[in-house]
Structure 1
């Protein structure tokens, strides 16, 4: 086998390995070695490369696609996680969008679920930095689409950085819809500062601010604070959110609505 064939084979194996970890959520080194018929050392080398690409995160004895307090999940994993809950949230949120208004969507997969329903409330101006959302909305009639540029980040499939923040700050929209990786009873959090800076700019650029977040993000923290929860006009969670968590948010006089599944 030539060096090029070996390289192609290794790349295909790593891609399959990444997909396996994303489907399972996590996998041990020994499981991956057995599944792909390679040595433990080869698995470690493959996982090192996949971690460098932002596809998975290594831990002692294996790898995971799930988020931690300092790492966000890869976009491929996030697109498959909690789909039913995000769909319910999207149906709920889209009802508060007025035809003829302007809406800014962040690069969250929850906001992407909202984008799938945008055609129900056109005409509309939609602003987003999420490439997946941009591609989706180009085919929706009645949508005036404004794409936010910046540095492209494949891990998030979105545009970030100074150029993106500057573009957001030059705009003012009727409604901003964002999601975050975690919320406590006081703050919304995210793991990565470049994401945080864009989300903060978006929140400052909206007349009304909606936090759309599925139950898996409740009562958690991450490395960076995005904003106090009382800076949002509305928090929408799905019907699998624990009643106790919702009660604690409402005890702080936060406006919380539950999207039924």
Structure 2
């Protein structure tokens, strides 16, 4: 069953008065970031989006989340056109976005407060998700008393505490060190396998994309289009050892082959834009 359907979605941004960019050798006062995106994401599926910088991955995520509207096309969630953020959807950003004046427990409770969940229930659910991420002993700590990895655990726990049917994640582990990143990837998969939430995950890491995903959506350089969709047929549950397997290495080569020309194109255009500026 398809949970999310993206139909012919494009997104163009109008630049501020007097601003220009060079596109295909010509100056322009607007930028098309996404162009004709078609994508169907199934219930309970884990999909990762990869592509060069500027390919519109985060913009597409914002449109799916109702935080931005497409210039053309529509996105449907369970058959309904998305025009604003939906309570069924949770969002985790690269920045931790925690309230510094709230403890870890209270940060998670906040997502339930705005949904008017009773105090006793929201505290119970918040403690449950703290425990899932191994943070029970840090419930009363404030964000500045937690490491970066712990803060992101709290941010993910806050999103999951609302029991979202869709979880959108925009490079949530990008700012973390490699060991913490690997640990959180594994913890995320363990929880996802229990709750059957549909996940759309943006990343620049090919290894991360492969390790997490059922399918990898490879996007072109700007304007972003779907270049290739790669099914990841690796056994679940997955552990870190799978990264050393021949199958994993084969997927790494396949994804890079799809990305190589797009990365080169994005770098060339970035250099031209800098030169023109």
The verdict on a shared fold, with TM-score over 0.5 as the criterion, is no
TM-score range, shorter chain: 0.3 to 0.5
RCO greater where, 1 or 2, for CA within 8 Å and sep 6 or more? Answer: 2
